[in-house]
């Protein structure tokens, strides 16, 4: 069984990423590995064994760069941040949706997908496949 690589945008707070790494170090069977998504690390893993957490600041819909990632086959969870935010609430938002991120990632093993979640939110919203099926 291959481990799922979770690549997290470098804009996410370092302490949050380290906390997630610490939590996942408790796994008896290593199913997930967490990496900071930078310096081309995404090229080391196949897209089928990777998911990506990013931030998208587009006011409506998804930014061009997020749509490009979907076009290339990335499987993504995208935070839509607030105008004003603090790192504590940012971290709490990610921790609230983390179990759902893990669940969705395991269910859609090889399928392309994109979910969004809002800063201070509590749920994931699936992006319509129509948006990225043309890609």
Domains detected in the chain: 4-133 (3.40.50)
- The whole-angstrom separation of Cα 63 and Cα 122 is 22
Alpha-carbon 91 to chain mean position: 13
- What is the mean pLDDT of the segment spanning 50-61? 95
Answer whether residue 134 shows pLDDT above 50: no
pLDDT in tens, 58-104: 999 999 999 999 999 999 999 999 988 899 999 999 999 999 999 99
**Given this model, what pLDDT does residue 108 score?**
82
- The whole-angstrom separation of Cα 18 and Cα 43 is 22
Answer whether residue 121 shows pLDDT above 50: yes
Say which DSSP state 49 is in: G
- The whole-angstrom separation of Cα 112 and Cα 90 is 26
- What is the mean pLDDT of the segment spanning 39-62? 93
């Amino acid at each position: 069984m291959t481990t799922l690589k979770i690549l997290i945008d470098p804009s996410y707070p370092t302490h949050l990423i380290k906390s997630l790494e610490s939590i996942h170090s408790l796994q008896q069977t290593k199913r997930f590995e967490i990496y900071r998504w930078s310096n081309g690390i995404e090229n080391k893993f196949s897209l089928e064994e990777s998911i990506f957490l990013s931030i998208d600041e587009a006011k409506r819909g998804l930014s061009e760069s997020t749509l490009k990632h979907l076009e290339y086959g990335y499987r993504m969870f995208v935070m839509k941040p607030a105008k004003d935010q603090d790192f504590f609430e940012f971290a709490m938002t990610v921790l609230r949706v983390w179990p759902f991120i893990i669940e969705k990632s395991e269910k859609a093993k090889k399928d392309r997908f994109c979910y969004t979640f809002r800063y201070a939110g509590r749920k994931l919203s699936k992006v319509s496949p129509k948006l990225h099926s043309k890609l």
